[in-house]
Structure formats: C-alpha cells, structure tokens
Structure 1
Amino acid sequence: MAWILDEYSKFHGYSPAIVTGKPLDLGGSLGREASTGRGVVYATEALLGEHGKSINGLTFVIKGFGNVGSWVARLIHEKGGKIVAVSDVTGAIKNPNGIDIPALLVHECDVLVPCALGGVLNRENARDVKAKFIIEAANHPTDPEADEILSKKGVIVLPDMYANAGGVTVSYFEWVQNMQAFMWNEEKVNEELKKYMTKAFHSIKNMCRTHDCNLRMGAFTLGVSRVARSTVLRGWEA
C-alpha cells in the first residue's frame, strides 16, 4: 500500500487518501490490524443481545487462527467467552475434554466462528453442526446448500457481508482521517467501529422484520435497496 501511495503521488502530488491499509507513518489508521476481528466481536455482541445473551459465559469454536481468528479469540476471551477449540491449517487445539480434531466443526458449542476459508460449511457437515449461532468471519464460509440445512435446523447465521465488515469500515475511517489531515486515537477508532457495526445490525434486523426473512436475506435486501434508492435519487431510473 505504501508503494501504491508513492507511485500515485509521483504524478498527482502527495495523496494519502488514495489507498488504505497504509503503515501508520504514511497515514494509516490505528486499530486497523484488529479491525476485522474486532468488528466480528461487535457484530456477535449485537446478535447475542437480540437473543438476551452475551459473550460472557458462552462457548465458542474458532475455525482459522490468522489475523481475524486470533483477534476474535483474544477479544472473546477478554469479554469472558469460553473458547473450547481453535484450529488452523496446521491442525487443532483440543480442550481438556478431548475434542476429536477431524470432527472439530461438529463439536458442540454455543457459537461457531469460521474465520479462514470459504466453503467450510457444506451439505456434508452442516447437519452435524450443533452450534446455536454461526458468525461468518470468513468470506463465504457457508455454501447455499449448507445455508438451507442450517436454517431448517434453527441455527442463526450472521452473514459475512456484515459480520466481517469491520476491516473495510476502518479502512473508510482511514480515508476520512486522511481527508481531514487529522489522526484519530485508537479509542475513537474502536468506538466509531462499534457504533457503525451496532447500527448496521439493527438496520438489518428491521429489514428482516419488514420482509420476514433471515439475516442473510435481510443484509442483501438492505444493501440492494440502498443502491436502488441512490440510483433513483440521482435520476438514473429506467
């Protein structure tokens, strides 16, 4: 990102807002490294709060332990959640009760958080998932057939297009800071992220109530409706 900034600036003058994810010394934002994982946790809190629950005291399984998964684990632990299993490409860590590593995804827990690859929940394993909630921290971790199976089982899935949006939201904050030529402290970044993630969840829930649909369809409907409304307001309707 530093290289892109430098190349663009050679021809157009110093332009830090041209790209996000930059090093702090070149106009990057504090809190960016943790932002996707932190956004996942804020999204999880919003969802659980809707069901009268909180992270504290619930059990979690985290699939993937890279940047997103490791921050999710750290923050959930800080908030009193019990992480009973974590896995990545090299294997899995068992809890004291001895979780079977190949069966990690079917191990019973309150919340399953896939944080790495797409398609890890599919028609072969979806019926065995015993979690009450799935938080899609990865991109497209649940294929359509698994989505239907989980829905019939009553599993609540928080869709990726919302749940893992913390990173791009803080990238937007970085752009805002660059345009203002003023750097926020990390506390403000995190406060703004929580505000946006919480507000977005309630907007999705309102759409779900209006159209009697699940969270994934509510998120898609909300996004499409906003684009459609903007298009009409700009006079682009057919």
Structure 2
Amino acid sequence: MSLSYTAQNSGAWQTYLTQIDRVTPYLDADLGNFINTLKRPKRTLIVDVPIVMDDGTIRHFEGYRVQHNLSRGPGKGGIRYHHDVELNEVMALSAWMTIKTAVLNLPFGGAKGGVRVNPKELSPRELERLTRRFTSEISSIIGPQIDIPAPDVGTNANIMGWMMDTYSSIKGHTVTGVVTGKPVHLGGSLGRVRATGRGVFVTGLEVAKRINLPVAGSKVAVQGFGNVGNEAAYLFSQAGAKVVCVQDHTGTIFNAEGFNVKALQKHVAEHGGVMGFVDATVITDEAFWDVDMDILIPAALEGQITVERAQKLKAKIVLEGANGPTYPEADDVFVSRNITVVPDVICNAGGVTVSYFEWVQDMASYFWSEDEINERLDKLMIQAMGDVWNTAAQKECSLRTAAYILACERILKARKERGIFPG
C-alpha cells in the first residue's frame, strides 16, 4: 500500500535538517550564527501512559511531547495517535510547526506530540482513559501561554475536549485555551475542521493565477481523503476543476471525467474509504503517480514523493496538504522539471491559522462567525503566499526555500533579540 506510514518516520528529522542546511546560505551571517537553535528541540518529554483496559488488564503506551522552538511564543502543534509514532518523527513535526507558524507570522513556536497506539483497537472508554492519562503526564509543560495542543492523525475534537477537561481538573478551573480544535460548544472555533483543506485550496488558487494555469477544467489528483484532502477536493471541484484520481488507505480510484466529490465524501463517510465508489475504475496504488493531472494534492503522510515518482509526475503544481510528503532529492527533480511546489509549511497552514483564531477567541471569550473566520483565514493565507512568492523571485529559489528564508529570519531575529540567558 503506497500510503504506508512507516517508511519515512525515522527519516523525517533528517529531511528537516537537510531543509535547514539548504536555507542557511541565504541568511545573513549574524543570523546564521544562531542556526543551530533550529537543529535541536528546546524540550523533549517521553512519558509512560499506563491504562486499565476494559478486560481489567493493564497496558503501557509510550507518549511524547516535543517543543522545538518557543522564541516567538507558546508552542503550537497537534497530538497524533498512531501505532508507528516515534520520537524522530515527532521532533520533525514539531520543527515544521516552528517554520509554519513563522511563515504565517503567527505568535507561536512549534511543538508536537503523540502516543504510539492504534486508536481503532481501543474502545471509547479505553481511548478516553488513554487521553486523560497522557494529558496528565504532559500537563506540566502545556498551557495556554506555554504549549497548546490540537488534533492530528488519529485524534479529533472529542479527544481535545477530554484533554481540556483533564487539564482544567488539574488546575481547578476551566481553561478552554489549553487546546484548540475542540468541540464548538466547549470553546472551539467555527471553520476549524475545514480550515486546512481550505488553506490548500486558497494557496493553490493563488499559485495557479501566478503561473497562468486555469483552475476550471484542470485535472486534480488527491492522495489522502481525510479532512484535508476531501475539503480541498470539494473546493477545487466547486471551482470547476475535475478531481480525476483519489487514493487513500483502502486503495486508488480513477475517473477521467472527474468524480462527484460530494457523493464521494458521502461514500467515504459511510464505508470508511474510497473503494467501492460507483463510476470509478480501480487502479494500482503505484499507478496513481502516472495519472494525467495538472494539480497534485498529497494530503496523506510523510515521505510519499520519492525521486522516482517526482521524475514521472505529470502535474504542474504540487500542493502539500500533508507534512513532509516530499523528499529533498525529489524537490530537486521538481525544480529541474519546472513543477511548482507549494510547501507544506504554508500550504497546509490553514489549520494552525484557525487554531490561532480559536486561541484568541478563547482568551477574549468572544467568538466570530464562520464567514468571519474564512475571511480572516483567506486574507492571511493570501498575504503569506504573496510574501513567499516575492521572496522566491528576489532570491531566485524555490517556494520551499523562500518559505524557510522568511521563517528562519523571523525566528532567528527573535532569538537574537531575546539574547542567550545567562549572558
């Protein structure tokens, strides 16, 4: 299965370090002196998470919370429940959050967390026990002004509600701002669930305009059909594009005339995956990379686009809905082939942007409408995309390198101006 989770985990941190090495020559010497700040996490916590199972046995799970950099504000980043979660991967994801929040100029640093568990194997009560025990174990290093978790792979709004309640119980009063991505009636924000996919669409529109690619009539292929992939696919279809190929954990389906995305969303909700959808041809997972397409949206997991896949890809634009889907060597292939890659650190930043809005709303106890949320999101994403595009033109580099230039300058300036304690 081409959506295998395990291939890239241990290599994710090395991918990030390579990206930092590639941007270093573009930085001023006084900032380059601080570059090692970005090559090591500020704080790493590994915890044991014992829970009593429904049958009375006790099982132990390993959990992590990594705070990569807090120079620009509290840590921000998701909690991932997956049976292959491990430290190097969480470190990389926390580092990409550092870059992502800086590219969007949000007042956050980067963090990430996870538990090595298959949540589908747990009952609802076991999942709640796991979440509450994990929250208690990391409670000393999280908080609305310290580090704010959010949902990620294998977690959702309900789990964030349990985290908020557990943390609030420890503190003795309700602390809604300790997590984002909560249920709306617990202080969550309207528009949060669709925000990441919407950001992929908004940045994709901006880049399509700049390279003179008409979205109407363009062919879109989507890898991963969760919250990110299905929302981006729906918005592109509403803009007149044809979603011709979709791959998820159940397989790969193709229709040269384009899918009815709304009907596909309903099918996935009812059956748990894309396989079995009517009016679709089943193709092999590897054939996904050979499909005739204009826009590719990798919205699954890390390490999906290898050199070999990059060499045969027919897309004109790659919109990284997932974190770290492209190996650095594949990036080089895209540059040589003049394929425009909108990097993950800006393309999928819609989620953390609306998480920022949620955090602000929780702090003020004043909430905005979904239209207001989307308007503010679009404005920030378009502004950030323009900044990255202009930097790429000035520095004659890829959009990824440009995004890292902007982010690293902001992070390292903050580090320099704060100084090193003790002096």
TM-score (norm 1): 0.94
* Partner residue of 1:191 out of 359, 375, 395: 375
Tell me which moved more, 165-174 or 5-14. 5-14
1:5-154 aligned within 5 A:
5-10=164-169, 11-96=171-256, 100-101=283-284, 102-154=286-338
Task: Name the structure with the higher strand share.
Answer: 2
Partner of 2:40: none
Following TM superposition, where does structure 1 have runs of at least 4 consecutive aligned residues deviating by more than 3 angstroms? 96-102, 232-238
Tell me which moved more, 129-138 or 88-97. 88-97
**C-alpha offsets along residues 176-204 of structure 1, whole Å, 9 cap, x if unaligned?**
11111111110011111101110000111
TM-score (norm 2): 0.54
Q: Which amino acid aligns with 2:315?
A: A
Q: CA deviation at 1:7?
A: 2.2
Q: Distance in 2 between matches of 1:90 and 1:151?
A: 32
Which protein shows a greater Rg? 2
Identical columns (%): 40
SS at match of 1:157: strand
**C-alpha offsets along residues 141-197 of structure 1, whole Å, 9 cap, x if unaligned?**
111111111211111111011101111111111001111111111001111110111
Q: Distance in 1 between matches of 2:307 and 2:212?
A: 30
Q: CA deviation at 1:100?
A: 4.3
Partner of 1:3: 162
SS at match of 1:56: coil
The answer to whether the 8 Å contact 2:190/2:373 transfers is yes
Partner of 2:103: none
Partner of 1:220: 404
The answer to whether the 8 Å contact 1:55/1:80 transfers is yes
Q: Aligned in 2, Cα 1:99/1:5: closer, same or farther, shift over 3 Å?
A: closer
Q: Which amino acid aligns with 1:13?
A: H
Q: Distance in 2 between matches of 1:57 and 1:200?
A: 27
**C-alpha offsets along residues 213-232 of structure 1, whole Å, 9 cap, x if unaligned?**
11000001110001122233
Structure 1 unaligned segments of length 5 or more: list them.
Answer: none
Q: Which amino acid aligns with 2:223?
A: K
Structure 2 unaligned segments of length 5 or more: list them.
Answer: 1-159, 258-280
Q: CA deviation at 1:31?
A: 0.6
Q: Distance in 2 between matches of 1:119 and 1:74?
A: 25
**C-alpha offsets along residues 49-105 of structure 1, whole Å, 9 cap, x if unaligned?**
212334222111111111111111111111111111111111122214768433111
Structure with more contact order per residue of length (Cα contacts < 8 Å, sep ≥ 6) = 1
Q: Aligned in 2, Cα 1:96/1:136: closer, same or farther, shift over 3 Å?
A: closer
The answer to whether the 8 Å contact 2:223/2:300 transfers is yes
RMSD between aligned alpha carbons? 1.8
Q: Distance in 2 between matches of 1:190 and 1:82?
A: 24
Instruction: Verify: 1:182 aligned to 2:363, yes or no.
Output: no
The answer to whether the 8 Å contact 2:252/2:283 transfers is no
Q: Aligned in 2, Cα 1:188/1:153: closer, same or farther, shift over 3 Å?
A: same
